[in-house]
Structure 1
Amino acid sequence: MSTVSAMSIEPVAEVTEKKPLKACCACPDTKKVRDTCIIEKGEENCTQLIDAHKDCMRALGFKI
């Protein structure tokens, strides 16, 4: 059985190209709070959280 030292392992090249952020994955914190509020209290009672999520999405470049 042979052993491989850490020095003989070549590092994996880093990916320099970023994938574009999908709308479903953007602003997870505001999205979760907004969704919970809508489920528990109804959309009409969560306008501030909805607006906060929209602001977050716009800040990331989404057109909402």
Structure 2
Amino acid sequence: MPKGKEVDRVENKGEPQEVASRPKPCCACPETRKLRDECIVEKGEENCKDLIEAHRKCMKQFGYDV
């Protein structure tokens, strides 16, 4: 195996490149997360279903199933 690939696997902790390059869940979709969180605090979860779903869709684009 070429040395460069070996270094990549060590730096990525053996994860496929696709997984290693995506943002952490806490850093993905900050805009939809902020709107969702503010709505839940102010109006309650039951009144924010559209914003919750928008955030779920955004997270799914990064490969997270929440």
TM range (shorter): 0.5 to 0.7
| Residue of structure 2 in register with 1:59 after alignment | 61
* Identity within the alignment, %: 54
CA deviations over 1:23-47 (Å, ceiling 9, x no partner): 0110000000000000000000000
Partner of 1:10: none
**SS of residue matched to 1:25:** coil
Unmatched segments (≥5 aa) in structure 1: 1-16
Count of aligned residue pairs for this structure pair = 48
Q: Is the 8 A contact 2:32 2:54 kept in 1?
A: yes
RMSD: 1.7
Structure 2 match to 1:35: 37
Distance (Å, rounded) in 2 between the aligned partners of 1:56 and 1:41:
22
Structure 1 runs, 4 residues or longer, greater than 3 Å off = 17-20
For structure 2, the residue ranges without an aligned partner over 5 or more in a row are 1-11, 13-19
Larger % of helix: which?
2
Distance in 1 of aligned mates of 2:47 and 2:23: 29
Counterpart position of 1:21: 23
